[in-house]
Amino acid sequence: MYYCQKCGKELADDEIYCANCGTKRSDVPDSKAEQHTQDTAGHEAHSVRDTAGREERPSRNGGKNTSKVLIVVLVLAVAAAAGGYALYSHNQKVADAGRASETEASAPAESTAEPQTQTDTGTASGTRASAENSQDSTQSGTTAGQTGSSSTGSKASTGSKTSTEQAKKHEYTVVARMTTWEEAKSWCESQGGYLATVTSQSEYDTILQKANESGLKVLWLGGSRNQAGNFAWSDGEAFTFSAWAQGEPNNDGGSENYLGMLLSNDSWSMYDMPDDVSAYYKPDIVGFVMEKEVAQ
């Protein structure tokens, strides 16, 4: 049993310093005191490290929280980019669909109704055009022409017809059908008519009216190149009237030997074309103009 020399407090065997006054025991060697001091310092250092570790933990937690926030921000950015791209793709599809709809709307719709005819003179004309089990959308116009009359589309302007022929009316029918020029010519002849010929502005105006009403954009007329390379009408009339487009006829490719009308920029003009145009135009915009002479 030991007692402090200074304050008399009882000390335990392993106590080197008095807990009451801090006085060192006189019977303990200095080396043991130093070892105790080192152990105490180590313990205190360990306590300091534990305390520092505990203080650092919030920082590590804060770093983890910061990492989580960054990950969330990156995820949101990726999601926003994906959403933006999806919206852009959707808008592009809508725009493409809109352009496709406008293109389809600009093309004339195929007619499924029975062929009907109508005349310019108001006379009863209920002819229906049909051939080879196919339905054709047709519109017809009748021009009542007397000799020397330029406003009625009379064929008398060439002076090549007799007085009896000059007194006939000329009925124009637009037939909606994809054919070659030769097929159109044969079909008209089978119906008692012929591919339309144009010898005056008044006749051309009548045909233009019927062409606009038909909704078609490519129409055969009854002209073709002869052996001399010049255009002539298939019914033998002189080719004295034309309404060629600029630069036409150009005989592109050396095979454009037939006469047709094309609607371009809302205006009709005459063009020389090959016999078969199926490779160049949709079937639902192609047809021909048939002409018939009807006695008054």
Could you state, in order of their start, the residue ranges of all structural domains in the chain?
A: 1-106, 130-294
pTM of the model as a whole: 0.48
pLDDT tens per residue, range 177-218: 999 999 999 999 999 999 999 999 999 999 999 999 999 999
Instruction: Say which amino acid occupies 34.
Output: E
Task: Identify the pLDDT of residue 141.
Answer: 40
Query: Distance (Å, rounded) from C-alpha 230 to C-alpha 107?
Result: 34
Burial class of residue 89 (count of CB atoms within 10 Å of its CB; 0-12, 13-18, 19+): exposed
Backbone angles phi, psi at 131, to 5 degrees: -160, 145
Contacts of 20 (CB under 8 A, 6+ apart): 4, 7, 9
User: What span, in angstroms and rounded, lies between the C-alpha atoms of 67 and 225?
Assistant: 85
Using CA atoms, how far apart are residues 154 and 144, in angstroms rounded to an integer? 7
User: H-helix or E-strand containing 90?
Assistant: helix 30-106
Q: What is the pLDDT of residue 120?
A: 40
What are the percentages of helix, strand and coil residues in the chain, rounded to 5?
40, 20, 40
**Residues β-bridged to residue 78:** none
CB neighbours of 175 closer than 8 A, spacing ≥ 6?
Answer: 129, 136, 137, 138, 184, 187, 287, 288, 289, 290
- Cβ atoms within 10 A of the Cβ of 37, count? 12
Q: Which residues pair with 267 in a beta bridge?
A: 264
Give the model's pLDDT for residue 254: 92
Cβ-based neighbour number of residue 121 at 10 Å: 14
Distance of CA 232 to the CA centre of its chain: 42
Which residues of the chain fall below pLDDT 50? 33, 37, 41, 44-48, 50-59, 101, 105-154, 156-164
Which architecture does CATH list for 130-294?
Answer: Roll (3.10)
- The amino acid present at 174, given as its one-letter code, is V
